[in-house]
Structure 1
Amino acid sequence: MKLASYKSTRRDGELRVVSRDLSRCRAVPKIADTLQQALDDWDSCQSALEQVYAELNAGTGANEPFVQSACHSPLPRAYQWADGSAYLNHVELVRRARGAEVPESFYHDPLMYQGGSDRFIGPQDAIVANPEYGIDFEAEVAVITGDVQLGASVAECGASIRLLMLVNDVSLRGLIPNELAKGFGFFQSKPASAFSPVAITPDELGSHWRDFKVHLPLEVQLNEQPFGCPNAGQDMTFNFAELVAHIAKTRELGAGSIVGSGTVSNKQGNLHGSSIANGGVGYCCLAELRMYETIETGQAQTPFMQHGDQVGIAMHCDGADLFGQIHNRVTAL
């Protein structure tokens, strides 16, 4: 099943069920006005939503064209947005670029921060920020959970996963060092994130959803040029069930909690073999390319995003667009 939220005068948007091919949709106010409402009452809403989804795919019943540019993030705001760092290749590169080792604990205790979730930007909205802050994109996968009890097992956390999305976790790299030096984590350096137009149930992935990982390439374009296509199921040290369980160790999760994978990153060769142009799988953020440059040449050469730059993020399966397209362009503050 595929779900989206159209922008409206309501803060939480208007829920739409979307056809598998992303061509048609239907509002379902008699089932739920918003995605959050559906998540709050998932057990009673799910079957009715699936019936509408079946009708859309069969071309029966009322429908309207699905317009991705009309979408907000599936949850325009959320009770919780927690982002992990499940791809330790990314962490290793960061550390190596500054001559530091990765602590052994990182390999069995996930890194995670709690981001701002009172307001996200839409999948095709502008990133409004000052380029002096070092604007970067981070392409990721995320899950939306149902209610999760305190102390839930990994298996229980896996069963709580309701939906999957793609993410552009915007980062302001120039602000990060001073914030981390305070020992209190990210804040100003993590502005509003954007999520894919569509959230999908895991069964839409078929065999590509296994071990609570998405085993498909995550496609990234920078200014309409290929930038990255690493496989999101490869080199993922902690799967989504484990990431959710990490949170549940000390707290409950409310329905509609979003948990991100962190920047998708695959192990590969050196700078000259890691880019798509040179046969590699490329990168899901500018910082990773800059890390390779620093390691190999002594300094970063690629600039962060400037006004007018645009990032595109998508995922396909057998040629079909799964989540719709994230397109965020940097705009002057």
Structure 2
Amino acid sequence: MRFVTFRNPQGEIRAGLLVGNGVIDLHLASNGEVPNSMLMFLQKQEQYTKVINRMKLLEKDANFTLDEVQLQAPLPNPTSFRDYMAFEKHVDNSRKKIGAQVPEQWYTIPVFYFSNHHVMLGPNAEVKVPNKTNNLDFELEIACVIGKQGINIKAEEADDYIFGFTILNDFSARDLQGQEMSVGLGPAKGKDFATAIGPYIVTKDEIKQFKSGKSYDLEMKASVNGKRYTSGNWNEIYYSFGEMIERASDSVTLYPGDIIGSGTVGWGCIAELPEDEQRWLQPDDVVELEVQQLGKLKNLIV
């Protein structure tokens, strides 16, 4: 299933299912048995998924065409947002820029930082260039959405806690990030202003045939104004989402609605390019991320 959050023609924000070229309003189609909110759905997703299957909602006609609604971030109000650095090539490229190698510790634990879970944007949303930055960047990532509460989750059991996956663009102010990290904290303010996810959350069963080792054999692409910037594959990841979840849940409870980002795929941002090829994002730029089976996530810089 592909879950969305959308604004209907009356201006109301609703949780929905994507079917063909239309959207099913989950609350409306279920006669009120399924809530309006994607976060509320996730908090009892096993119960509400049974309602979807019992009422055969996927077989019903769409309530709206995609032209009649505005897609929002599929989970506009996640309960938390952790972002990892799980792709070795991205770490290697970034470290080479400062004349360093990948730290030995990176190979012993998956590392993450907490980002601002209140600034989630969706497909076609405008991203405002933050104050005091001249080096605005995108990051091509994948995020998993937690669907079940748990603590001290083992990597081999973590799949049971993943509700689904979506594309994630971790917009970054590289100059602000550099200022903070030079004193041993951050990236904080360099990532504080906007994160885009979407266009929908894809449940695990939709991509199980692409399973490959620790991850999935799915292509990842990024372009700016139609120009291809990078191509990669999810299966290049070093740490699985299971390993990330094990680390995140060590002595800490994860909750339905938590988001965990993979970090950037190798060559998946402007900062990794040679300096003479770097052109930071400017107003009127259109950034488009695409992951096979997860759709396309487009945003306009303003």
TM-score, structure 1 as length reference: 0.82
Q: Which residue of 2 aligns with 1:285?
A: 269
- 1:1-333 alignment, distance < 5 Å: 1-7=1-7, 13-19=13-19, 21=20, 23-29=21-27, 30=32, 31-50=34-53, 55-56=57-58, 58=59, 60-61=60-61, 63-67=63-67, 70-130=70-130, 132-190=133-191, 191-211=193-213, 213-234=215-236, 236-265=237-266, 283-289=267-273, 293=274, 299-316=275-292, 322-331=293-302
3-state DSSP of counterpart to 1:157: helix
Amino acid at match of 2:38: L
- Taking a change above 3 Å as real, the CA distance of residues 184 and 69 of structure 1, as seen in their structure-2 partners, is farther
3-state DSSP of counterpart to 1:229: strand
CA deviation vs aligned residue, 1:174-233 (integer Å, no higher than 9, x gap) = 111111123222211002200012111011113213445232101211111222221111
3-state DSSP of counterpart to 2:151: coil
- Taking a change above 3 Å as real, the CA distance of residues 194 and 182 of structure 1, as seen in their structure-2 partners, is same
Asked whether the equivalents of residues 15 and 32 of structure 1 are also in contact (C-alpha less than 8 Å), the reply is yes
Q: Which residue of 2 aligns with 1:275?
A: none
Instruction: Give the Cα separation in 2 of the matches to 1:122 and 1:71.
Output: 7
Asked whether the equivalents of residues 71 and 199 of structure 2 are also in contact (C-alpha less than 8 Å), the reply is yes
Asked whether the equivalents of residues 145 and 259 of structure 2 are also in contact (C-alpha less than 8 Å), the reply is yes
Instruction: Give the Cα separation in 1 of the matches to 2:282 and 2:160.
Output: 41
Instruction: Give the Cα separation in 2 of the matches to 1:176 and 1:152.
Output: 31
TM-score, structure 2 as length reference: 0.90
The structural deviation recorded for 1:144 is 0.3
Farther off after superposition, 79-88 or 128-137: 128-137
- Taking a change above 3 Å as real, the CA distance of residues 153 and 167 of structure 1, as seen in their structure-2 partners, is same
CA deviation vs aligned residue, 1:257-306 (integer Å, no higher than 9, x gap) = 000100012xxxxxxxxxxxxxxxxx3211111xxx2xxxxx44422111
Instruction: Give the Cα separation in 1 of the matches to 2:68 and 2:173.
Output: 27
3-state DSSP of counterpart to 2:207: helix
Q: What are the ranges of 5 or more consecutive residues in structure 1 without an aligned counterpart? A: 266-282, 294-298, 317-321
Amino acid at match of 1:287: A
Instruction: Give the Cα separation in 1 of the matches to 2:213 and 2:159.
Output: 9
- Taking a change above 3 Å as real, the CA distance of residues 303 and 105 of structure 1, as seen in their structure-2 partners, is same
| Identical residues among aligned pairs (%) | 23
Which one has a larger percent strand, Structure 1 or Structure 2?
A: 2
Farther off after superposition, 151-160 or 130-139: 130-139
Instruction: Give the Cα separation in 2 of the matches to 1:262 and 1:105.
Output: 17
Asked whether the equivalents of residues 145 and 163 of structure 1 are also in contact (C-alpha less than 8 Å), the reply is yes
Amino acid at match of 1:173: R
- Taking a change above 3 Å as real, the CA distance of residues 122 and 205 of structure 1, as seen in their structure-2 partners, is same
**Superposition RMSD in Å:** 2.4
The structural deviation recorded for 1:50 is 4.1
3-state DSSP of counterpart to 1:197: strand
Instruction: Give the Cα separation in 1 of the matches to 2:138 and 2:209.
Output: 29
Amino acid at match of 1:44: Q
The structural deviation recorded for 1:155 is 2.1
Q: What are the ranges of 5 or more consecutive residues in structure 2 without an aligned counterpart? A: none
